[in-house]
Amino acid sequence: MVTVLKDRQTIIEAFDKVINNLEKSILGMYNSRLRAIITDPLFMVLHIDDHMAHRGHAVFDTLTVHEGLAYNLPSHLSRIITSASLAQIALPLTPEEISSILLDLAASTGKLNLYIRYWISSGPGSFAITPVEGESTFYAVAYESNYLEKFENINEFTVSVPLKPKLLANMKSNNYMLNALSAMESSSKGGLFGVQKDENGFITEGCVNNFAFVLPNKIFVTPTFDKILKGTGISRTLELVKSLVNEKLLDGIEQRDIHIDEAKTAVEMLCFCGDGVLGVLNWDGNPVGNGEEGEITKKIKEMYIGDFFNTEMTVPIDYSKYS
Active site residues: 172
Residues 217 and 49: their CA atoms lie apart, in Å, by 54
**At residue 246, what are phi and psi to the nearest 5 degrees?**
-65, -30
Distances (CA, A) of 170 to 9, 239, 295: 44, 21, 32
Spatial separation of the C-alpha atoms in residues 269 and 300, rounded to whole Å: 12
DSSP state of 122: -
Report the half-sphere exposure of 42 (CA within 13 A, side-chain side): 11
Q: Residue 35 region, left (φ>0) first, then alpha (ψ -120 to 50), else beta?
A: left
- Distance between CA atoms of residues 312 and 191, nearest Å: 35
CA angle 21, 278, 236 (to 5 degrees): 105
Residue 232 is which amino acid?
Answer: T
Helix (H) or strand (E) holding 174: none
Please list the alpha-helical segments (H only) found in 32-154.
51-54, 73-86, 95-109
Count CA within 13 A, CB hemisphere, residue 250: 25
Q: Where are the alpha helices (DSSP H) in 190-279?
A: 232-240, 242-246, 260-263
CB distance 71 to 64 below 8 Å: yes
Report the alpha-carbon distance of residue 220 to residue 204 in Å, rounded. Answer: 16
CA neighbor of 102 nearest in space, from 134, 65, 137: 65
Task: Return the DSSP state at 129.
Answer: S
